[in-house]
Amino acid sequence: MDRRDFIKTCGAIAVASFLDTKFFSEALASQEGFLKLYSKAILLKEDGTPLTEKDIAPHREYIFFYPFASTPCYLINLGDEVKGAQLKLNDGQTYLWKGGVGSKKSIVAYSAICSHQWSYPTKDYAFINYYPPDKPSETTKKAGVIQCCAHLTVFDPKAGGKVIEGPAEVPLASILLEEEGGKLYAVGVLGKDQFDAFFENYKTDLRKEYGSTAKAKELVDKCVVMEVGKYVKEIIRC
Amino acid sequence: MSMTRRDLFKLAGVGALTASIPSVGFSAAERVKKAEAILPPSKGSRVVVCGGGWAGLTVAKYLKKENPNIDVVLIEKRPNFFSCPISNEWLAGLVSLDFISHDYNQPASKYGYRFINAVVVGIERDKRRVYTNHGYIEYDYLVLAPGIKYNYDAWFKGDKNMAYYTKVNYPAAFIPGSEHLALKRKVWEFEEGDFVITVPPGAYRCPPASYERAAMIAYVFKKNNVKGRVIILDPKEDIAPKGPGFRAAYEQLYLGIVEYVPKAQIKEVDPVNKVIKTTAGDFKFADANLVPPHQAGELVWMADLIAKDKDGKPTGWADQDPLTFQAKADPRVFLVGDVIGGVPYPKSGHMGNSQGKIVAKIIASRIAGKDIKPTLPDNTCYSMVNGEPQEAIVINVTYDYNDKEKKIVPKPKVINERSESLAKATYEWAKSMYKDMFA
């Protein structure tokens, strides 16, 4: 099967509301190499109980760490159904993003490591953030977007993390979520993740934060989810 | 008794020192008999990048990322990297020298390009050779990214003594290195009087730099209780870019310390008697940051790739294709960073980095026998306007290509309201840029 046939075959299913992870994994990874499955990690509230859909208020920005202990992700309930999308890279390669999860298909998750030059939320600052519809960016005037203030790349969380404008050349990597029995799980990462560059560039910071690079690179099987403002001292918006 | 210029030069022995004004003292043709190849012939394609600033470093790294088999050679005359962006913050003591200094070994070893610490003394495009003080290197493609040079002749009409005197006593500090250290010393030792900053006319490196520098110097004066003023002599009609942001800072933070003088085109610079005559009046100074007009760096002149105006006079900037950065006169040469002309791009570190990625893609695709559609660069520029608390303003510009008019159209976005958040973002921007080029 060539790529075109594959996309045709898979497009109809993939862009539907739910896609079987196993199929997605085997078919897409072998064809495209964009999907990486990691350990299936349950999303938990701060008290340790499972996170449910109702715990995720619309247009709030939540943080959790997946697939490694040190790699931050944002969880956002965009309020309305988020349909799947096909993402196209500059080199012409494409991959499919399945859209939101939850009863309204409105919950999405993305790696919070900027795909441009790897700015990420630390305990001190978050320069990359979600801008809800009622709080547009002062610089780009855009709302309902994820924007990085380091170099002003704007990503679209409603379209698989696609770059709307700015210097980033690839979309934000998205976190594959599954819902089972009312509980939410992270199961993999889709797109061009920036983990290698992240671990390489922030070696010193990660050692300081986690004690060792090995600790920072530990894979997780559960993720505590909290509002970004609780984790980060200062949210930098621009 | 007032001292004449001649007396002063006699005292200082300046006549003997004019050789330190950079120039190529011999032609490439003269050297060719003596010079030997530094490197053996390349098995694959070799790209020689001249200039290890923001643009050159980015081209070198991204060429290797695009295709590790390309033999990439980066030639830079300085042994280490000093960042002009963020140097005003360093000038004000807000960041350490470590923050803006980097070594060339790390990216060279990490990305696998060859770093040669040498001075380019000649370029022979017909032979595809670059001559250095260590010997010559042959190339398949050449990237010229030498940054800027100062045009003191615009002020002193070829009087090298006066140019030298000005350069040493009132350094411009727009080219990395010793000049910045000298300026910092001057600012922190300043006791009283007027400290003049001249903004260059026409295109120049980092358009907001002088305004940011004025704010940072004013911050130091305020902090040190110095009875001094910073006078900005600007040939423009108003501050640009980020005019409202800088103006608000001058009025709200540095009232009586910063004086902005628009429409001050320089008529005469007398560094000996410390007087600058302009179309907005004459200004005496106690000390100064005298910044002459800028031009493309020497290597572009050496390679004879400077654009000419309609009268056949050199514009001072490179003559390159606006989209591909390829020299109009030579498809094997690419011109990138602050040297370029004829496009609405500011000469900035971010812009050099952004162009570098585009040029790397284009050269790699040429080597692979493909042609790609070039993308357009972007620019983000933060300027610190306050030191306590640290506050900054920002401009971001993306570009569209108007195919109908064959024009590159800037789309600027500005935040003129200074904030501590933007100051933090300034450092985040810088850190990630340094990581991109070095880590």
Q: DSSP for B376-400?
A: ---EEEEEEEEETTEEEEEEEEEEE
Q: What is the mean pLDDT of residues A75-98?
A: 93
pLDDT above 90 (res A22): no
Residue that the structure tokens 């010793």 belong to: B178
CA–CA distances in Å: residue B401 to residues A165, B404, B410: 15, 9, 9
Spell out the alpha helix ranges (H) of chain A. 3-14, 21-23, 29-32, 195-201, 203-210, 213-216, 228-231
> Can the peptide bond before residue B322 be classed as cis, meaning omega within 30 degrees of 0?
no
Inter-residue contact A43 to A184 (CB < 8 Å): yes
Helix (H/G/I), strand (E/B), else coil: B59: helix
Q: Tokens 């005496």 label which residue? A: B284
Question: What pLDDT band is residue A91 in, cutting at 50, 70 and 90?
Answer: confident
Question: CA B92: distance to chain centroid?
Answer: 20
Q: Cβ B432–A152 below 8 Å, yes or no? A: no
The pLDDT assigned to B27 comes to 58
Query: Given the structure tokens 């495009």, which residue do they identify?
Result: B125
Amino acid symbol at B290:
L
Can you tell me whether residue B254 is helix, strand or coil?
coil
CA distance A44 to chain B (A): 31
Please report the beta strands in chain A, taking only residues with DSSP state E, as ranges in sequence order. 35-44, 62-65, 72-77, 85-88, 94-97, 107-111, 125-126, 128-131, 145-148, 153-156, 162-165, 174-180, 183-190, 222-224, 226-227, 234-235
Rounded Cα distance, A186 and A40, in Å: 6
Joined together, the tokens standing for residue A50 give: 């499972």
Q: Do A236 and B421 touch (CB under 8 A)?
A: yes
- A233 to chain B, minimum CA–CA distance in Å? 12
Interface test with A, best of B357, B370, B380 (most A CBs within 10 A): B380
Residues of A in contact with B415 (CB under 8 A): 138-139, 238
Strands lying side by side in the sheet with B120-124: B120-124, B129-132, B135-138
Contact B435 A165 (CB under 8 A): no
B354, B415, B435 ranked by CB distance to A139: nearest: B415
A200 vs B429: CB contact, 8 Å cut-off?
A: no
Burial of B79 (0-12, 13-18, 19+ CB in 10 A): exposed
- A163-182: average pLDDT: 94
Helix (H, G, I), strand (E, B) or coil at A163: strand
8 Å CB contact of A167 and B354: yes
The per-residue pLDDT for B1 is 42
Q: Grade residue A27 by pLDDT with cuts at 50, 70 and 90.
A: very low
Residues of B in contact with A165 (CB under 8 A): 398
pLDDT given at position A92: 84
Helix axes B349-367, B420-438, angle to 10 degrees: 30
pLDDT of residue A186: 98
- Digit-by-digit pLDDT tens for chain B (439 residues) are 444 545 444 444 433 333 333 444 555 555 554 578 899 989 899 999 999 999 999 999 999 999 999 999 999 999 999 999 999 999 999 999 999 999 999 999 999 999 999 999 999 999 999 999 999 999 999 999 999 999 999 999 999 999 999 999 999 999 998 999 999 999 999 999 999 999 999 999 999 999 999 999 999 999 999 999 999 999 999 999 999 999 999 999 999 999 999 999 999 999 999 999 999 999 999 999 999 999 999 999 999 999 999 999 999 999 999 999 999 999 999 999 999 999 999 999 999 999 999 999 999 999 999 999 999 999 999 999 999 999 999 999 999 999 999 999 999 999 999 999 999 999 999 999 999 999 8
Chain A residues whose C-beta sits inside 8 Å of any chain B C-beta: 90, 114, 116-119, 125, 127, 138-141, 149-152, 165-167, 200-201, 234, 236-238
Confirm if B336 and B321 have CB atoms less than 8 A apart.
no
Q: Please name the residues between 402 and 421 in chain B that touch chain A, using a CB distance below 8 Å.
A: 413-415, 417, 421
Q: Does B436 touch chain A (CB under 8 A)?
A: yes
What ranges do the domains of chain A cover? 3-235
Name the pLDDT band for A11 (thresholds 50, 70, 90). Answer: very low
Q: Which CATH superfamily is domain A3-235 in?
A: Rieske [2Fe-2S] iron-sulphur domain (2.102.10.10)
Q: Closest by alpha carbon to B219, among B84, B390, B97, B98?
A: B390
**Which of B425, B436, B439 is facing A238, going by the closest CB pair?**
B425
Distant-in-sequence, close-in-space partners of B40: CB < 8 Å, separation ≥ 6: none
Tokens of B131: 């001559």
Query: What confidence score (pLDDT) does residue B10 get?
Result: 44
